[in-house]
Protein backbone atom coordinates (compact mmCIF):
# COMPACT_ATOMS: atom_id res chain seq x y z
CA UNK A 1 0.00 0.00 0.00
CA UNK A 2 1.38 3.39 -0.99
CA UNK A 3 0.18 6.34 1.07
CA UNK A 4 0.56 9.93 -0.12
CA UNK A 5 -0.21 13.26 1.49
CA UNK A 6 1.02 16.85 1.27
CA UNK A 7 1.04 19.97 3.41
CA UNK A 8 1.27 23.60 2.33
CA UNK A 9 3.96 25.99 3.60
CA UNK A 10 1.59 28.97 3.42
CA UNK A 11 2.13 29.87 7.08
CA UNK A 12 2.90 28.50 10.52
CA UNK A 13 1.53 24.98 11.06
CA UNK A 14 -1.59 24.82 13.20
CA UNK A 15 -3.78 22.28 15.00
CA UNK A 16 -5.86 21.73 11.88
CA UNK A 17 -2.69 20.63 10.05
CA UNK A 18 -1.69 18.37 12.92
CA UNK A 19 -4.97 16.53 13.44
CA UNK A 20 -6.05 16.59 9.80
CA UNK A 21 -2.80 15.54 8.09
CA UNK A 22 0.30 15.25 10.24
CA UNK A 23 -0.84 12.81 12.94
CA UNK A 24 -2.54 10.43 10.45
CA UNK A 25 0.56 10.58 8.22
CA UNK A 26 2.87 9.75 11.11
CA UNK A 27 0.70 6.79 12.10
CA UNK A 28 0.40 5.51 8.52
CA UNK A 29 4.17 5.47 7.98
CA UNK A 30 4.07 2.20 9.94
CA UNK A 31 1.54 0.60 7.57
CA UNK A 32 2.93 0.96 4.06
CA UNK A 33 5.08 3.02 1.69
CA UNK A 34 4.72 6.57 3.01
CA UNK A 35 5.17 9.45 0.51
CA UNK A 36 4.82 12.93 2.05
CA UNK A 37 5.64 16.27 0.46
CA UNK A 38 5.71 20.00 1.16
CA UNK A 39 3.23 21.50 -1.33
CA UNK A 40 5.05 24.74 -2.09
CA UNK A 41 3.44 25.09 -5.54
CA UNK A 42 -0.02 24.86 -3.99
CA UNK A 43 0.86 27.61 -1.52
CA UNK A 44 1.40 30.01 -4.43
CA UNK A 45 -2.37 30.48 -4.74
CA UNK A 46 -2.39 32.43 -1.46
CA UNK A 47 1.22 33.27 -0.54
CA UNK A 48 3.05 35.52 -3.01
CA UNK A 49 6.29 36.25 -1.13
CA UNK A 50 8.93 33.81 -2.43
CA UNK A 51 11.28 34.42 0.49
CA UNK A 52 8.54 33.71 3.02
CA UNK A 53 7.61 30.55 1.12
CA UNK A 54 11.19 29.28 1.34
CA UNK A 55 11.36 30.01 5.06
CA UNK A 56 7.99 28.37 5.66
CA UNK A 57 9.05 25.28 3.70
CA UNK A 58 12.04 24.81 6.01
CA UNK A 59 9.86 25.40 9.08
CA UNK A 60 7.32 22.83 7.88
CA UNK A 61 10.08 20.25 7.41
CA UNK A 62 11.49 20.90 10.90
CA UNK A 63 8.06 20.88 12.56
CA UNK A 64 7.01 17.67 10.82
CA UNK A 65 10.19 15.95 11.97
CA UNK A 66 9.67 17.29 15.49
CA UNK A 67 6.15 15.82 15.53
CA UNK A 68 7.40 12.33 14.67
CA UNK A 69 7.93 11.97 10.93
CA UNK A 70 10.65 9.33 10.50
CA UNK A 71 12.80 9.81 7.35
CA UNK A 72 13.82 6.16 7.63
CA UNK A 73 10.21 5.10 7.19
CA UNK A 74 8.96 7.82 4.85
CA UNK A 75 9.98 9.58 1.65
CA UNK A 76 9.76 13.32 2.33
CA UNK A 77 10.37 15.99 -0.30
CA UNK A 78 9.43 19.42 -1.62
CA UNK A 79 6.89 19.52 -4.44
CA UNK A 80 8.98 21.76 -6.69
CA UNK A 81 11.85 19.23 -6.60
CA UNK A 82 9.83 16.99 -8.98
CA UNK A 83 9.20 19.07 -12.15
CA UNK A 84 7.39 16.14 -13.77
CA UNK A 85 4.41 16.95 -11.52
CA UNK A 86 3.74 20.23 -13.31
CA UNK A 87 4.27 18.54 -16.68
CA UNK A 88 1.67 15.92 -15.75
CA UNK A 89 -0.66 18.71 -14.56
CA UNK A 90 -0.82 20.01 -18.14
CA UNK A 91 -1.47 16.57 -19.58
CA UNK A 92 -4.26 15.96 -17.08
CA UNK A 93 -5.79 19.38 -17.73
CA UNK A 94 -6.47 18.38 -21.35
CA UNK A 95 -8.91 15.67 -20.21
CA UNK A 96 -10.43 17.66 -17.31
CA UNK A 97 -13.92 19.08 -18.06
CA UNK A 98 -14.44 22.69 -16.98
CA UNK A 99 -17.68 21.70 -15.31
CA UNK A 100 -15.81 19.33 -13.01
CA UNK A 101 -13.73 22.21 -11.64
CA UNK A 102 -16.64 24.65 -11.56
CA UNK A 103 -18.49 22.34 -9.17
CA UNK A 104 -15.68 22.32 -6.60
CA UNK A 105 -17.03 23.84 -3.41
CA UNK A 106 -13.60 24.79 -2.03
CA UNK A 107 -13.13 27.39 -4.79
CA UNK A 108 -16.60 28.82 -4.13
CA UNK A 109 -15.97 28.91 -0.38
CA UNK A 110 -12.75 30.87 -0.80
CA UNK A 111 -14.49 33.38 -3.08
CA UNK A 112 -17.23 33.78 -0.48
CA UNK A 113 -14.51 34.52 2.10
CA UNK A 114 -13.25 37.37 -0.07
CA UNK A 115 -10.10 35.64 -1.35
CA UNK A 116 -9.13 37.05 -4.74
CA UNK A 117 -9.61 34.39 -7.45
CA UNK A 118 -6.86 33.33 -9.83
CA UNK A 119 -6.41 30.46 -12.25
CA UNK A 120 -4.19 28.58 -9.80
CA UNK A 121 -6.96 28.60 -7.19
CA UNK A 122 -9.48 27.40 -9.78
CA UNK A 123 -7.19 24.68 -11.23
CA UNK A 124 -5.86 23.58 -7.83
CA UNK A 125 -7.59 20.15 -8.07
CA UNK A 126 -5.71 19.31 -11.29
CA UNK A 127 -2.32 19.93 -9.67
CA UNK A 128 -3.50 17.91 -6.68
CA UNK A 129 -4.48 15.09 -9.04
CA UNK A 130 -1.00 15.15 -10.58
CA UNK A 131 0.58 15.01 -7.09
CA UNK A 132 -1.41 11.89 -6.32
CA UNK A 133 -1.39 10.04 -9.64
CA UNK A 134 2.27 10.44 -10.57
CA UNK A 135 3.32 8.30 -7.59
CA UNK A 136 0.72 5.52 -8.09
CA UNK A 137 -0.82 6.34 -4.73
CA UNK A 138 -3.30 3.84 -3.31
CA UNK A 139 -4.43 5.73 -0.21
CA UNK A 140 -4.67 9.49 0.36
CA UNK A 141 -5.50 10.67 3.91
CA UNK A 142 -7.65 13.81 3.59
CA UNK A 143 -9.98 15.97 5.63
CA UNK A 144 -13.65 16.08 4.68
CA UNK A 145 -13.12 19.40 2.88
CA UNK A 146 -10.59 17.78 0.51
CA UNK A 147 -12.67 14.69 -0.27
CA UNK A 148 -14.22 16.36 -3.31
CA UNK A 149 -10.77 17.18 -4.70
CA UNK A 150 -9.78 13.54 -4.37
CA UNK A 151 -12.96 12.53 -6.17
CA UNK A 152 -11.92 14.93 -8.94
CA UNK A 153 -8.51 13.21 -9.07
CA UNK A 154 -10.26 9.86 -9.43
CA UNK A 155 -12.48 11.19 -12.24
CA UNK A 156 -9.48 12.65 -14.07
CA UNK A 157 -7.54 9.38 -13.74
CA UNK A 158 -10.46 7.39 -15.13
CA UNK A 159 -10.87 9.78 -18.07
CA UNK A 160 -7.14 9.62 -18.83
CA UNK A 161 -7.13 5.82 -18.62
CA UNK A 162 -10.12 5.64 -20.97
CA UNK A 163 -8.39 7.93 -23.49
CA UNK A 164 -4.83 6.54 -23.36
CA UNK A 165 -5.07 3.08 -21.84
CA UNK A 166 -4.56 1.85 -18.29
CA UNK A 167 -2.03 4.32 -16.90
CA UNK A 168 -2.94 5.46 -13.40
CA UNK A 169 -3.88 3.76 -10.15
CA UNK A 170 -7.28 4.97 -8.93
CA UNK A 171 -6.65 6.34 -5.40
CA UNK A 172 -8.90 5.88 -2.39
CA UNK A 173 -9.54 8.54 0.27
CA UNK A 174 -9.04 7.86 3.95
CA UNK A 175 -10.95 10.20 6.23
CA UNK A 176 -10.78 10.11 10.02
CA UNK A 177 -14.27 11.17 10.99
CA UNK A 178 -13.23 12.34 14.45
CA UNK A 179 -10.96 14.97 12.88
CA UNK A 180 -12.55 15.29 9.43
CA UNK A 181 -12.90 19.05 9.95
CA UNK A 182 -10.97 20.83 12.72
CA UNK A 183 -12.82 24.06 13.68
CA UNK A 184 -10.92 27.32 13.94
CA UNK A 185 -11.36 30.14 16.43
CA UNK A 186 -14.40 31.42 14.53
CA UNK A 187 -16.09 28.03 14.29
CA UNK A 188 -15.28 27.63 10.60
CA UNK A 189 -12.70 25.18 9.26
CA UNK A 190 -9.29 26.04 10.70
CA UNK A 191 -7.28 27.55 7.86
CA UNK A 192 -4.39 29.98 7.44
CA UNK A 193 -6.41 31.60 4.63
CA UNK A 194 -9.17 32.44 7.12
CA UNK A 195 -6.88 33.75 9.88
CA UNK A 196 -8.53 31.56 12.53
CA UNK A 197 -5.73 29.16 13.44
CA UNK A 198 -4.03 28.00 16.63
CA UNK A 199 -0.35 27.35 15.89
CA UNK A 200 1.20 24.05 16.97
CA UNK A 201 4.33 25.69 18.31
CA UNK A 202 2.93 29.17 18.93
CA UNK A 203 3.73 31.17 22.03
CA UNK A 204 1.14 30.83 24.78
CA UNK A 205 0.64 34.59 25.20
CA UNK A 206 0.01 35.11 21.48
CA UNK A 207 -2.40 32.15 21.35
CA UNK A 208 -4.36 33.42 24.34
CA UNK A 209 -4.59 36.88 22.76
CA UNK A 210 -5.84 35.44 19.45
CA UNK A 211 -8.39 33.29 21.29
CA UNK A 212 -9.62 36.37 23.19
CA UNK A 213 -10.01 38.32 19.96
CA UNK A 214 -12.14 35.51 18.48
CA UNK A 215 -14.14 34.53 21.56
CA UNK A 216 -17.70 33.33 20.99
CA UNK A 217 -16.69 32.40 17.45
CA UNK A 218 -16.56 36.07 16.39
CA UNK A 219 -13.57 38.38 15.86
CA UNK A 220 -13.23 41.18 18.44
CA UNK A 221 -10.83 44.06 18.55
CA UNK A 222 -8.47 44.03 21.56
CA UNK A 223 -9.96 45.89 24.50
CA UNK A 224 -13.59 45.57 23.41
CA UNK A 225 -16.25 44.15 25.72
CA UNK A 226 -19.17 41.80 24.94
Q: HSE-up of 156 (CA within 13 Å, CB side)?
A: 32
Q: pLDDT grade, residue 148 (50/70/90)?
A: confident
User: In the annotation, is 110 catalytic?
Assistant: yes
pLDDT for residue 225:
32
Please give the Cα distance from 124 to 148 (Å, whole number). 12
User: In the annotation, is 189 catalytic?
Assistant: yes
Instruction: Specify the pTM.
Output: 0.78
Report the share of the chain in percent with pLDDT over 90: 49
pLDDT in tens, 43-62: 998 889 999 999 999 999 99
pLDDT for residue 206:
63
Q: Which candidate in 78, 147, 192, 209 is catalytic? A: 192
Could you please report the per-residue DSSP string of the chain? -EEEEEE--SSS-BHHHIIIIIHHHHHHTTTSEEEEEE-TTGGGGT---HHHHHHHHHHHHHHHHHHT--TTTEEEEEGGG-THHHHHHHHHHTT--HHHHHT-HHHHHHHHTTPPP-HHHHHHHHHHHHHHHTTT-SEEE--GGGHHHHHHHHHHHHHHHHHHSS-S---EEE--GGGSS-B-TTSSB--GGGT---BTT--HHHHHHHHHHTGGGS---TT---
Domains annotated for the chain, with CATH where assigned, are 2-181 (3.40.50.620)
Q: Which candidate in 78, 110, 147, 210 is catalytic? A: 110
Q: Which candidate in 189, 205, 209, 210 is catalytic? A: 189
Higher pLDDT, 115 or 154: 154
Among 96-110, 154-168, 196-210, top mean pLDDT goes to: 154-168
pLDDT in tens, 63-114: 899 889 999 999 999 999 999 999 999 999 999 999 999 888 888 887 887 7
Amino acid sequence: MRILSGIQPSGALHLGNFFGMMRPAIELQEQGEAFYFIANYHSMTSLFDAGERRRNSLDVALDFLACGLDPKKSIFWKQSDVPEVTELTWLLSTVTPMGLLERCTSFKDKLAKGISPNHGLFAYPVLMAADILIFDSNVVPVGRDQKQHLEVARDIAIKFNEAYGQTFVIPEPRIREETAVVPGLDGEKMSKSYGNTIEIFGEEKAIRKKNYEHRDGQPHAPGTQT
